[in-house]
Structure 1
């Protein structure tokens, strides 16, 4: 069993903001596979499907970003998932827009959603798909930036990155995370 978690904030106000790229990748995976987030439990919306004999769960926590662990932790307990069975997709200010980086462990890097997950799981050892959103180029707070929408000029890189992150997630349906990480981490 594998669980892919896209981080974001629920509600129309936050749809398509930089902080919601995790949700955007989950939405792409749903569209590609003809699935929908039909289950509402564990403070989240999720779907459970079978892909080539492997149970796949896609989860969008509905707790708001800073409390993401309050959704993922109970889901993992219920399904008896181990941290290595989970991949979390989230925005990363330290990567430029258009870059994806995968890793198997690490700190929170100041990301409150990841901090919440680490706190609830009691470990830093879980798979991550970091989705670059870059840093603001004009004077503005980080909060305003991550809760802002992408510009028209950013859309082509955004769309390409969503596709790439979804490709990597789908590859993990079939391959070990280490192999997917080696294949999909962008070197440039």
Structure 2
């Protein structure tokens, strides 16, 4: 079983913010495959669905971004998901707006949600899809940048990136290796 986790913050005031592109990607996949993420367990909303005849979990942690890890370990253990079958989708301010990068593993960089996940899960060997949101302007704080919305000219770019990321996840769920995902979608 694979587990796709989109990171974001709860509530309507965070909808459409840069920090919520992970949620948006999971929502895009739910729309494509016609399911709702409406079950709750271990401080996460999730859906357990069959895609390509394989059970897959789609997860949105219901804690704030910096506590994203606390739901994942118990959820993975409960459903018997091994770390190698987990993919985390999140924003990355070190990538240009709209740039997408897939990685097999690595450090969390400066992303506090990923730092918490690596700490709680006890491993850096977690697949990830990073969607670029760009750096803040020199006089703007990182917090106001990630919790802010996209400029009008960035919205279409980000929507394309969310769709591109969802395409890559679908490709992985079809049974392709993650190396193939990285080769084709990076």
CA distance in 1, matches of 2:2, 2:144: 33
The residue number in structure 2 matching 1:87 is: 87
Aligned residues: 185
CA distance in 2, matches of 1:2, 1:54: 8
CA distance in 2, matches of 1:112, 1:43: 18
The residue number in structure 1 matching 2:46 is: 46
* Deviation (angstroms), 1:159: 1.0
* Deviation (angstroms), 1:138: 5.0
Secondary structure of 2:150's aligned partner: coil
Runs of 4+ in 1 over 2 A off after TM superposition: none
- The farther-off stretch of 119-128 and 129-138 is 129-138
* Deviation (angstroms), 1:53: 2.0
- Asked whether 1:179 is paired with 2:180, we answer yes
CA distance in 2, matches of 1:159, 1:47: 22
The residue number in structure 2 matching 1:110 is: 110
Structure 2: segments with no counterpart, 5+ residues: none
CA distance in 2, matches of 1:83, 1:181: 18
The residue number in structure 2 matching 1:122 is: 122
Q: TM-score, normalised by structure 2?
A: 0.97
The one-character-per-residue Cα deviations of 1:15-45 (angstroms, maximum 9, x if unpaired) are 1100000001011111111110121112111
Secondary structure of 1:154's aligned partner: helix
The residue number in structure 2 matching 1:97 is: 97
The residue number in structure 2 matching 1:28 is: 28
CA distance in 2, matches of 1:32, 1:178: 24
- Asked whether 1:163 is paired with 2:163, we answer yes
CA distance in 2, matches of 1:115, 1:138: 24
CA distance in 1, matches of 2:51, 2:163: 19
Q: TM-score, normalised by structure 1?
A: 0.96
Secondary structure of 2:153's aligned partner: coil
